[in-house]
Structure 1
Amino acid sequence: MNKKKGLTLLSGILMLSLLSACGNNNGNAGGNGAEPGASAAATQAAGDDKQATGDSSTIDTSQPVTLKMIFVGPKPIDYDTVFGEINKKLKEKINVTLEGEFLDWSDWAQKYPLKLAANEDFDLIYAANWASYNDQAIKGGFLELTDALLQKYAPMTWEAMPEVSWGQAKVNGKLYMVPQNRGETVEKLILYREDLRKKYNLPEINSPEAYATYLKTIAEKEKGVVPFTPETGDWKFHNLDRVLLKQQNEWNMLDFELPIGFKLTDPAGKVFNVYETPEFKELVYYYKDLADHNVWSKSAQNSKLDHQQEFREGKTASITHNLGTLGSLMTDMRGKNSPYELALADVTPDKKKSVAVSTQNGVAIHASSKNPERALMMVDLLQNDKELHDLIMSGIAGVHYNPLGDDKYTNADKNANFTGFSNWSFNSPLNRDNASFPDEANALTDKWEGEVYHYPLETFVFDNSKVKTEIANVSNVMLQYGIPLEYGTVNDVDSGLAKLQKQTKAAGIDKIIAEVQRQIDEFLAKSTQ
């Protein structure tokens, strides 16, 4: 997830300006009460005077502690080697040993909430807005991080983190994660085989229609290559939806676990049921056409394939993801002399671009962790200590990456042996940028920096506590009736869409929309005061 640092600075300045203009109060988390399950030391720290010095040298670390963290993504091949080095440093600095558990992309969506619901024994967990951070925080799975806790046990993070980032990570006025401290784009692109486009003399891929032409041509003429392979996981709206539905129509989907959106340019923030829009109907017909032309595997909906690996091996002609992920994949493939010519396609080139809020990636401390203080100290180091940050983000110098100065690197021979998992939890200004990052990806970053669009609801957080039952019911409907439409497996699209709309209403979508709208109206009213 390599990003150019300029985006961080620009987005931070613009977002701070926007929030200041709106008069939002972005003070840090208030209240001193620690959540149930916090240790006595954490409770004491939460009750300490607000003027905590943050001098961690006075903290007693004489007792060794083993911390377990849940990551998403596959366990890296060189986990033992790299984490061995990390643990040497952590042992020296705070007497901690870190053990990682990894939830593979094929089943993380099912396993992640179960680990919290079962109150399993672990200390930290990857947290993100797209991984139901708000919901899990409200359910009580994460420890509240007060000002006093952060000042005492994460003083470097406390000083380095922009205040707006803390504000974006609050749920009902309280903080439950240490968010990333580096901005990134959330727009999706398509990575495809340019050699195949040239082979069949196809037009430039710069629109949904041009992309469909590419896909259907590959399906017809390039035997043994799947035109498109989606990412695995229990996605209600997959990445191609985010290109062709969210970006194409300049919507914000609020939460990809719900079929609710609003127009970015709508100052009133009027929300709507995505499934009832003509745009969604047009999209499912688009997908039906692609499915009928065998653009993806008939088992794609339940596939466990790694779409990046399929692309790497030439088994698929295109995939979707964000710019950083796709640019890194291109860098790795080109560095290993891939026989395929690669290219990026932005099929929504004239649409508004946005940046992620701080909760795009982060770390939460389990509410029942026995060592939350040491966990915070570890997060502080992994995000802000240069030596440890390089290890967790890039692996071992000379083995996984070759450092160039303090802020750049090139891939070493075993780069792929320490990638693909959520070390982005610790994104910070110390991130190194890949000096071999594709020029075309850098050009897109430069272009988007000048086009970042900020909207009044950019920092809005939905509290779903009053509609939990309805959300669970709608989620089941989306899985049963929505996803088949999006993979083109429903023969009668009109009938399937009508059934989806009917079932979604019966599940309580209107009540959810009413509650979302109420909260948005209140949020906007406060912003203009």
Structure 2
Amino acid sequence: NLAINHTTAFEVTDQIPDSTAGEKEDIPKKYGDLHYEEITIAMPGYSNVPRMQGVVEKLNELTLENINTTINVMFIQDVMAMPTRIPALLNSGNCDVVYSDNFNLFNNNFYQYTMPYLATQGLIMEVSDLMKKYAPSLYKAYNDEYIYRHLMYVNEGIYGLSFKEPSISMPIVMVRKNLVPNDYKIETMDDVYYLSDEIDAKGYKFATNLLARRSLFRIFTNINDCYLLPDMHVFGGYIHDFVNDKIVRFEDTEILNDMMAYYENWDKHGILDKRIDFEQNDRVGIALFDSVLKVPNTKDYQFFPLHTDKRFQIDYKNAVSMVVSANAKNPERALILFDYLFSDKKAYDLACFGVEDVDYSVQDGTYKGGTRMFFMFNYMYEP
């Protein structure tokens, strides 16, 4: 167990608890007739609060029509006040849902609004049973996607509804289509290095500078079935070896050698331009990314995920969630609201991106120009 300021402890498990096991499932296809309810949500206020308030007004038109619900949002603009404001709001009973993140899980000054702390203090509600009955889309997604289920656990219960996609360091290589040899498999970093030699001989380069050093460290940690410990802030120290289930020194793993091989390839074939326009720069033959979210939308390249036999680990501190107050007046409606936002395409786009042709546009099926608005659900589920 990981202790938080010596006041509470938690652990992460893999299975969704099901207190209704053996009973006939009663997951409604529709929400049915609902009486009017208001749900109050507290979350950080960003620089575009006026626009976010406008989005909430538009969103309420949809929620009122479809689930007879109005959303009231309390924007907390003083981030430094979050550790005191969030617990106080949960205690007051004046707020149904609050924002929570685990970024400060091991920070003695800010841990008070992390999900494990709120759960173990009895301030938020375990929602797995409610999710099964009132949020069928969320329930299915949590059963299908290990990533989100894993990050929302405290001990044996689900306490959070994922607020955004967590950061996952998985290598994806992008190769110009006319440079991919027939029947050549690109599955590992070694395949990338071999291809770099071949491409360089034809006058093309490898855009290797797109990854920060820490991103590389995460990638090679995952490839070697290791995990960064919570206090791992620098390169060195100890990591968790999953294969042998023991704590080992960083120097005793292959991670350092892997990073040296990467930098040798960079030195030999790399382009040093930090802002590469892949559509315009015809020198780029191959590029490496650490997330599907960073891959550019271009028709001139093929994309290959690497090391797909590995389960890429996610730092529990990356979990960002909306949590339901233990004093919520209608937690069932809170679950229905979030399920609706996840599963209705129009509400989903509005909550994520704002108003179409005002905050963002859609060009050739791709979202352009939007800033993340009220919620940040984008990329999580396919509604």
TM-score, normalized by length of structure 1?
A: 0.42
- 1:142 matched to 2:124? The reply is yes
CA contact (8 A) 2:41 2:97 kept: yes
Structure 2 SS opposite 1:158: helix
Q: 1:88 to 1:422 in 2, by over 3 A?
A: closer
Matching residue of 2:135: 154
Structure 2 SS opposite 1:424: coil
Q: 1:263 to 1:377 in 2, by over 3 A?
A: same
* Structure with the higher strand share, 1 or 2: 2
Q: 1:110: Cα distance to partner?
A: 3.2
Matching residue of 2:284: none
What is the distance in 1 between the residues matched to 2:350 and 2:249?
44
CA contact (8 A) 2:39 2:71 kept: yes
CA contact (8 A) 1:71 1:125 kept: yes
Matching residue of 1:61: 34
Deviations 1:354-383 (A, max 9, x none): 453797333221111101111101100111
What is the distance in 2 between the residues matched to 1:120 and 1:28?
28
Q: 1:71 to 1:272 in 2, by over 3 A?
A: farther
Q: 1:430 to 1:404 in 2, by over 3 A?
A: farther
- 1:356 matched to 2:309? The reply is no
Q: 1:144: Cα distance to partner?
A: 1.0
Q: 1:133: Cα distance to partner?
A: 1.9
| Superposed counterparts of 1:335-484, under 5 Å | 354=312, 356=314, 360-404=319-363, 407-411=365-369, 415=370, 419=372, 423-425=375-377, 427-430=379-382
What is the distance in 1 between the residues matched to 2:367 and 2:382?
12
Matching residue of 2:67: 94
What is the distance in 2 between the residues matched to 1:248 and 1:26?
24
Deviations 1:383-431 (A, max 9, x none): 12100000010000110111235x52111xxx4xx54x67225652338
What is the distance in 2 between the residues matched to 1:378 and 1:122?
15
What is the distance in 2 between the residues matched to 1:111 and 1:253?
30
What is the distance in 1 between the residues matched to 2:169 and 2:131?
28
What is the distance in 1 between the residues matched to 2:340 and 2:25?
22
Q: 1:79: Cα distance to partner?
A: 2.0
What is the distance in 1 between the residues matched to 2:88 and 2:248?
33
CA contact (8 A) 1:125 1:364 kept: yes
CA contact (8 A) 2:169 2:215 kept: no
Structure 2 SS opposite 1:31: coil
| Superposed counterparts of 1:196-235, under 5 Å | none
Q: 1:117 to 1:368 in 2, by over 3 A?
A: closer
Q: 1:75 to 1:115 in 2, by over 3 A?
A: farther
Matching residue of 1:235: none
| Superposed counterparts of 1:163-174, under 5 Å | 164=146, 165-174=148-157
AA aligned to 2:134 is: Y
Deviations 1:462-516 (A, max 9, x none): xxxxxxxxxxxxxxxxxxxxxxxxxxxxxxxxxxxxxxxxxxxxxxxxxxxxxxx
What is the distance in 2 between the residues matched to 1:28 and 1:249?
27
What is the distance in 1 between the residues matched to 2:61 and 2:328?
22
* Structure with the higher helix share, 1 or 2: 1
Deviations 1:265-304 (A, max 9, x none): 4534545999xxxxxxxxxxxxxxxxxxxxxxxxxxxxxx
Structure 2 SS opposite 1:125: strand
Q: 1:263: Cα distance to partner?
A: 1.5
What is the distance in 2 between the residues matched to 1:257 and 1:141?
30
Matching residue of 1:177: 160
Q: 1:159 to 1:50 in 2, by over 3 A?
A: same
CA contact (8 A) 2:103 2:319 kept: yes
Structure 1 SS opposite 2:31: helix
Gaps of 5+ in 1: 1-23, 33-46, 188-203, 212-239, 275-321, 332-351, 432-529
CA contact (8 A) 1:69 1:100 kept: yes
AA aligned to 1:362 is: S
AA aligned to 1:54 is: P
Aligned residues, how many?
Answer: 269
Q: 1:89 to 1:95 in 2, by over 3 A?
A: same
- 1:30 matched to 2:18? The reply is yes
Deviations 1:91-143 (A, max 9, x none): 00111111222334742653465446744521112234435222222222221
